Structure 1
């Protein structure tokens, strides 16, 4: 006979009782489940586990749907997909400059000014114009030149 912890109230009880003396939780089901888990843990000793959430026996387990040859109906109507594509196209069109190049975001302007050796490479992304790249890399070259002069 050993003292174990009740799975419901976390108090110490005897390992031979059928129900917890503090909260009344049945221990027979829990002990059988614990023994099955320890047996499974011995078989799967090579896997690493960080524990699991406690299970509530009052809540039914999720079951898989039976496999049928019929095609399941589409949940999303076709109009929703078309609408989403149109919104994405409109959002992309709004982000293009008059000359067809991608605008330089405010955060990128600030970071190219402050730390160009790192952030000027973001100007190499698709869509930035040669003028934007020339300003960014020119600023980097100017700072490198200024740092080498005494």
Structure 2
């Protein structure tokens, strides 16, 4: 007895089964063709593969009259871990997370945003439009952007050589 693949549901079944235990698809009797064996041939060459599977390009509707086979999940073994594992996470999770807010209720401008808005305001000042930033923060950021644009606009260009 060997395990073969069901042509309909692609699950493993016995080669001696008359129907698939998962989907109920009937298994066709496949006669073993015996070819004439020469006298000098070894006995292993005479045996044909009884469980040759077929190729399927889709599945047929399942037979609802045949119940699905249930495979119980494997029991998971408990692992021995040190006592301190996860202690830091549990203490952090116990503390309520307080959002950072300024005295006026707006969110603070992060350090990286301050630096990048100073160095490249054409790109990073737009992050101040996120919800929570105050009007004062936006005026300072876009004022800096406007000042740099004004400086570039009034800078005299050297005459062509």
Task: Check whether TM > 0.5.
Answer: no
Q: TM-score scaled by structure 2? A: 0.38
Q: Would you tell me which structure has more helix in proportion to its own residues? A: 1
CA radius of gyration, larger in: 2
Q: TM-score scaled by structure 1? A: 0.41
Higher relative contact order (CA 8 A, sep 6+): 2
